[in-house]
Structure 1
Amino acid sequence: MAVQIKKKKTIPFNFAAKHQAYIRKCQDSTFNFAEGAVRAGKTIDNVYAFAHELKTTKDKIHLATGSTAANAKLNIGDANGFGLEWIFRNQSHWGKYKGNECLYIKGPSTGNRQRIVIFAGGAKADSFKKIRGNSYGMWIATEINLHHEKTIQEAMNRLLAADNRKIFWDLNPDNPKAPIYIKYIDKYAKQDKEGKLLGGYNYEHFTIFDNVNIPEQRIQEIISQYDPASIWYMRDIEGKRCVAEGLIYRIFADSIAVQDSRFLRTEKPRNLQEINIGVDFGGNGSGHSFVATAITPGYTELIALESELHFGDIDPEDLGRLFVSFCQKVVMKYGFITAVFADSAEQVLIRGLRSSAKKAGLSWLKIYDSYKEQINERIRATYMLMSQGRFFIYGDGCESLILALCSAVWDPKEVTKNIRLDDGTSDIDTLDGFEYTFERNIERLIGR
């Protein structure tokens, strides 16, 4: 006897005319690209259209990707109550398929045919390995410009045998000459215009003002959290493709120059949620950096506590002693250390730090590999925290970090990507160490 599925609640989808037109065109298009500002509703459009196709497609296995698997699950699977698990509520469950997180879907909406949506990350050079071995029918990706080229190529190849081949991408604007435009989005647009692209091309540009679900007051609140002179304002609010130029953290550098104390915390922070240390190893002219930051309850603020930079040929034992001394200083001042995140590329040196910590009676110290989030995502998170008044420096022990933030600039010679200049003229080592302390918490601190 068939089990009757009861939907207890209707999802309150509310699409403006521009969004409705894009979604309708998805039905007849292989390539569906939604680009534009934050909170514009791009991802929801694609999730809705993707879910509609899942109901009738003959293909069993499909792919959903984000910069990380967690990001894909959050923005495509959940999507604040508008994601796939909600659209197919009582007809789906989370599980594993060949080692990957997936959403199993089967019920009246799919004609009781099983559909499997595999969720995977796409930002790292080896991310493509996670999606090998399967043929997919459709592919939905959020923040496609943060995906590694190898991931995009592998996913494209895995769709070739699909019965109903469809691609759904969303992205915030990037460098006008970024590979995602040159190799894919703009290339396909040109081919479509010339009548050479088979399958149908569907592109739309959205801004936050196209989203009828956000009240005007909330829109103004979101806008107020950005520095109007920043690249992030032009991309996230105005939805423009633009090239990054000049100082990366101009609002911070200007504040330090005029000594307005905007980013300085004079009272010792208390009731801290966690204190993390980031370690970046030097070599070939660069330095070894140690940076400690604190996160306040509820991921409200990020506070830099201490930083050190050591140059020269430092043997592993001396490096270990410097590291232990730094950790002991942090514990003496603030009482605890939650974790240490060290440059994952240097496993021998990381083992040396663990050995030095154990010898010094700090065997309780948890030392992990750095996560190595994409640099521009780390930069964006830092800038957003600065713009929102949620990043601070405490005390006088962060001189190297202050100098590093004030001198960080975009590479003027790079025309296809927005890349932080790394030619020895600025302190990239301290910036890396600083970013390792919070990169795992970017979702909690600012979202995407």
Structure 2
Amino acid sequence: MHIVFSSKQKDIIRRPFNYELEVNEGTPRSGKTTAGHFRYARYLIESEDENHLVSAYNQEQAYRLFIDGDGTGLMHIFDGNCQIRHDEHGDHLLIETPKGTKRVYYKGGGKVNSVGAITGMSLGSVVFCEINLLHMDFIQECFRRTWAAKLRYHLADLNPPAPQHPVIKEVFDVQNTRWTHWTMDDNPILTEKRKKDIITSLKKNPYLYKRDVLGQRVMPQGVIYGLFDMERNIKDSLFGEPIEMYFTADGGQSDATSMSCNIVTRLRENGKVTFRLNRVAHYYHSGAETGQIKAMSTYATELKQFIEWCTKKYQLRYTDVWVDPACKSLREELHKIGIMTRKAMNNAHDVNSKSKGIEVGIERGQNIISDGRFVLVNHSEEEYDHYHFLKEIGLYSRDDKGKPIDKDNHAMDEFRYSVNVFVTRYINFI
């Protein structure tokens, strides 16, 4: 492969390994991950330790972001000298280097029980992809797993988080850290025209402009669901008595197709009966993001499999499948294979005393998030997890006129549909 590196990428790749944690933080499409691929490949050649780890929110992302890396990941850099293997510690890339065989395991670290996947392992190094999405217990355990390394090394990358994000105080500020800032100007493959187009589209939103163009850590005033709390609104099990399961979906071919499984539970708190909306699983596929465009019939088949997976796992019968009314072809394909659907409550005609249209649904979502009635519930499997929901909820925001931006919102739209069902059926205060 022939790759042109920017001066910053070359500097990153050639630096000595004299820091135990290196952090590449900056805008999307800044070239930081590609530099990380080659930097880490250099480390693996120099290291004498055998076992290493690449981590991301889930195993699929760890493989996609760093093992494959869209053509520049480790499996391509070491092409001809590596192969995918599996042993008692899990899936890994087995690499032959001048200093011996290296095993690079790739695992998910986004959940509290992710720690179990690395307990007992002795590692020379760890790569943290999108470290701000990983569970803090997992991150801290990774640092403990490398205490005995001969050349101890950790590499993290992330887009700018909020200034108060715990990873800054609890990881970056306490380790022997070298931090590097990245912007689009550091990526040699982006043309001036492309950069100008990105800047023009993001200028409508001050939050996204500062974060994704300037690479600044900014308070998420413009983020619509900014009150979502990674601790308070994420749980590891259902609480209360399950009383209904239903599905909501938004679809597209080049755009993302998103479907969530939602379970309503009933709880008795302080002598009162309350209800909670639990988002327990998520199907998500983006043709634009993956480069793989699927037919609507394929989406329908995969969504049916998702529904069957959820009903088997949670041992519940579902009541309804709500699909965006605009997704007529997806609804028709689902009907053909025996999945009856209803038109999702999309707030098209909703009006209340303070808002109208989708703002009604957004307000409902904000309310149930802030009072703890909405939670993400993790499950032990990595299939159908909440990775894409968490990415979107951190990006879904308003433009400079206060209007929700029609971007990064496919999971957000079907989340709003699920909230509308929940509020209409179980809550009478909105």
Percent identity, aligned pairs only?
22
* Alpha-carbon shift at residue 346 of structure 1 (Å): 10
Distance in 1, matches of 2:52 and 2:415, equals 50
C-alpha contact 1:226 1:388 (8 A) present in aligned 2: no
**Of residues 169, 181, 185 in structure 2, which corresponds to 1:209?**
185
Partner of 1:75: 65
* Alpha-carbon shift at residue 93 of structure 1 (Å): 0.5
- 2:369 maps to 1:379: no
Bigger radius of gyration, 1 or 2?
1
- 2:350 maps to 1:336: no
Structure 1, residues 253-285: CA drift from partner, whole Å, max 9, x if none? xxxxxxxxxxxxxxx999999784532314343
Distance in 1, matches of 2:17 and 2:92, equals 24
Q: Which amino acid aligns with 1:324?
A: T
**Of residues 128, 134, 146 in structure 1, which corresponds to 2:133?**
146
Correspondence 1:245-284 to 2 at 5 A: 245=221, 248=224, 276=259, 278-284=261-267
C-alpha contact 2:17 2:153 (8 A) present in aligned 1: no
Q: Which amino acid aligns with 2:332?
A: Y
* Alpha-carbon shift at residue 155 of structure 1 (Å): 0.4
- Flag the 1:170–1:282 CA change in 2: closer, same or farther, 3 A: same
Partner of 2:275: 286
Q: Which amino acid aligns with 1:377?
A: K
Distance in 2, matches of 1:176 and 1:202, equals 18
C-alpha contact 2:282 2:386 (8 A) present in aligned 1: no
Query: Helix, strand or coil: the match of 1:126?
Result: helix
Correspondence 1:26-425 to 2 at 5 A: 26-106=16-96, 110-111=97-98, 113-188=100-175, 197=176, 201-226=177-202, 228-229=204-205, 231-245=207-221, 248=224, 276=259, 278-284=261-267, 285-286=274-275, 298=293, 323-324=318-319, 334-336=332-334, 345=377, 371-373=385-387, 376-380=390-394, 386-388=405-407, 401=417
Where does structure 2 lack aligned partners over 5 or more consecutive residues? Answer: 227-250, 268-273, 288-292, 300-315, 341-374, 399-403
C-alpha contact 2:211 2:217 (8 A) present in aligned 1: yes
Distance in 2, matches of 1:392 and 1:46, equals 29
Structure 1, residues 190-239: CA drift from partner, whole Å, max 9, x if none? xxxxxxx5xxx422101011112211222234445546325344322221
* Alpha-carbon shift at residue 386 of structure 1 (Å): 5.0
Distance in 2, matches of 1:14 and 1:237, equals 22
Distance in 2, matches of 1:294 and 1:140, equals 25
- Flag the 1:248–1:404 CA change in 2: closer, same or farther, 3 A: farther
- Flag the 1:158–1:269 CA change in 2: closer, same or farther, 3 A: closer
- Flag the 1:286–1:140 CA change in 2: closer, same or farther, 3 A: same
TM-score (norm 2): 0.62
Q: Which amino acid aligns with 2:39?
A: A
C-alpha contact 1:42 1:170 (8 A) present in aligned 2: yes
* Alpha-carbon shift at residue 153 of structure 1 (Å): 0.9
Moved more, 238-247 or 282-291: 282-291
- Flag the 1:299–1:170 CA change in 2: closer, same or farther, 3 A: farther
Structure 1, residues 262-313: CA drift from partner, whole Å, max 9, x if none? xxxxxx9999997845323143433669999998972799x9xxxxxxxxxx
Distance in 1, matches of 2:386 and 2:415, equals 24
Q: Which amino acid aligns with 1:135?
A: S
- Flag the 1:300–1:248 CA change in 2: closer, same or farther, 3 A: farther
Structure 1, residues 10-56: CA drift from partner, whole Å, max 9, x if none? x3232222232233334332221111100111112222111112112
Query: Helix, strand or coil: the match of 2:266?
Result: coil
Distance in 1, matches of 2:376 and 2:182, equals 38
Structure 1, residues 371-395: CA drift from partner, whole Å, max 9, x if none? 233753241476699534985999x
TM-score (norm 1): 0.60
Q: Which amino acid aligns with 1:279?
A: N
Alignment: residue pair count: 327
* Alpha-carbon shift at residue 124 of structure 1 (Å): 0.8
- Flag the 1:155–1:426 CA change in 2: closer, same or farther, 3 A: farther
Where does structure 1 lack aligned partners over 5 or more consecutive residues? Answer: 1-10, 189-196, 251-267, 304-319, 348-367, 408-423, 428-448
Distance in 1, matches of 2:333 and 2:95, equals 49
Partner of 2:247: none
Moved more, 164-173 or 14-23: 14-23
* Alpha-carbon shift at residue 183 of structure 1 (Å): 1.5
- Flag the 1:391–1:49 CA change in 2: closer, same or farther, 3 A: closer
Distance in 2, matches of 1:399 and 1:118, equals 34
Query: Helix, strand or coil: the match of 1:376?
Result: helix
C-alpha contact 1:35 1:171 (8 A) present in aligned 2: yes
Query: Helix, strand or coil: the match of 1:177?
Result: coil
Query: Helix, strand or coil: the match of 1:176?
Result: coil
Distance in 1, matches of 2:390 and 2:256, equals 26
- Flag the 1:374–1:276 CA change in 2: closer, same or farther, 3 A: closer
Distance in 2, matches of 1:124 and 1:149, equals 9
Distance in 2, matches of 1:96 and 1:335, equals 38
Query: Helix, strand or coil: the match of 1:114?
Result: strand
Q: Which amino acid aligns with 2:152?
A: R
**Of residues 12, 17, 21 in structure 2, which corresponds to 1:22?**
12
Distance in 1, matches of 2:417 and 2:140, equals 38
Distance in 2, matches of 1:225 and 1:235, equals 13
Distance in 1, matches of 2:107 and 2:74, equals 15
